[in-house]
Structure 1
Amino acid sequence: MKLESLWRSCRAAPCKSVHERLESNSGSPTPSGVVRIPEGTVTALRRHRGAQLEERLAWGPDWIDSGYVITCEDGAPLHPHSLTDAFERRVRVMDVPAIRFHDLRHTCATLLLQAEVHPKVVQEMLGHSSIAITLDIYSHVVPGMQDEAAKKLGAVVFG
């Protein structure tokens, strides 16, 4: 993703155009054109951008201004496999279950649904074209939430 698109489409980041839509992997734009991300993520992206600007200065005229968020040290676009490989190396040295880079997306959706975020919101965050896709993929999360839903219904109906 290019940095300019990221800033335009993230919460709490400088926005140049609120009308431009962010295209997801599925090709379906988010309804508002905005992808909401946690403030901590925005802070980390700004730190990363600062480090990238320092690299740009160090490289001088040899810097390749690709505009991407994640680049090689000279600014050239990073091959997607390089990012995946770096992620897998990082996971191996950490005390966490082995997961693939793409599993982060599933983890995010699962955690949001378990936190009782409305599936429509999760669908929009993931860029799925319909809520049916989200529910078909993550329906394994929903049954565990039925007990809590029954309790809430009982509280509303019976006080």
Structure 2
Amino acid sequence: MTTLPTKTLSSERRIALPAPCLRSLPDHLDQQAQEWEKAGENWKESGHVFTPPDGHPIEPATFTRHLKALLRRAGLRQIRFHNLHHSTAVLLLDQGVELLVINEILSHTHIDATATVYAHVRLRLRLQCDAIDLLSRTLGQTSEAVIEPDDGDDPPLCAAPIL
């Protein structure tokens, strides 16, 4: 595997990590140092934080296989790695984070890309739940929307009973 340069100079940047990720790094680096010692001269120093036990960069197919295994063990449906990028944006939007900040975290070049792809998510979810609630009231039932996390693939779940 070859590590290629980033598309643009602005793509090379520092990224903020949540506190649990930062707390786990020293343990990870200790484990990696042990792997380096065990591999000896077979270690390939790649400069990457996450590597297989021989230090080489992780092959994309291997990474995908590991992600699928983790999802399976956790009882979650299979997704592409890039779906985590989308989930981050939607979760941040849901917490009220400004679109400009989300744009920077996702490292989109233009805010238009972020706005086009993500700004509609909360509105669409709210409108769908409002529509189901209206239908429920029309049918003589009352309900309160129960909003579940949305990955964009499935309609939102609302509390309206199915008759």
Q: What TM-score do you get using the length of structure 1 for normalisation?
A: 0.67
> Given the alignment of the two structures, is residue 119 of structure 1 paired with residue 109 of structure 2, yes or no?
no
The equivalent residue for 1:5 is: none
Q: Which structure 1 residue ranges, 5 or more long, are not aligned?
A: 1-22, 148-159
Within the candidate set 6, 21, 27, 1:41 is matched to: 21
Query: CA 1:118 to 1:28, structure 2 compared with 1: closer, same or farther past 3 Å?
Result: farther
| % same residue | 30
Change over 3 Å in CA distance of 1:68–1:34 after alignment to 2: closer
Task: Give the CA RMSD over aligned residues.
Answer: 2.4
1:3-152 superposed matches below 5 A: 27=8, 29=10, 33-143=13-123
Q: Which structure ranks higher in relative contact order (CA pairs < 8 Å, sequence separation ≥ 6)?
A: 1
How many Å apart are 1:106 and its aligned residue? 0.6
Q: In the superposition, relative to structure 1, how do residues 127 and 60 fare at CA in structure 2: closer, same or farther (>3 Å)?
A: same
Q: By how many angstroms is 1:105 displaced?
A: 0.7
Q: State the 1:138 CA deviation.
A: 0.7
Larger Rg: 2
Cα distance change of structure 1 residues 140 and 97 upon mapping to structure 2, 3 Å threshold: farther
Structure 2 unaligned runs (5+)?
A: 1-5, 128-163
Could you say if the C-alpha distance between residues 146 and 118 of structure 1 is closer, same or farther in structure 2, counting changes exceeding 3 Å? farther
Distance 1:38 1:84 in 2: 23
Q: Distance in 2 between matches of 1:130 and 1:70?
A: 29
**How many residues of Structure 1 are paired with residues of Structure 2 in the alignment?**
122
Q: Deviations over 1:72-129 (max 9, x none)?
A: 2111122111101110111112122332211111111110000000010000000001
**Partner deviation per Cα, 1:121-152 (whole Å, 9 max, x = no partner):** 000000001111101111232416989xxxxx
Contact 1:35 1:125 in 2 (8 A): yes
- The alpha-carbon distance between structure 1 residues 43 and 73, as it changes in their structure 2 partners (threshold 3 A), is same
C-alpha distance in structure 2 between counterparts of 1:119 and 1:29, whole Å:
19
Aligned partner of 2:152 in structure 1 is none
**Structure 1 residue 28 displacement after superposition:** 6.6
Q: TM-score, normalised by structure 2?
A: 0.66
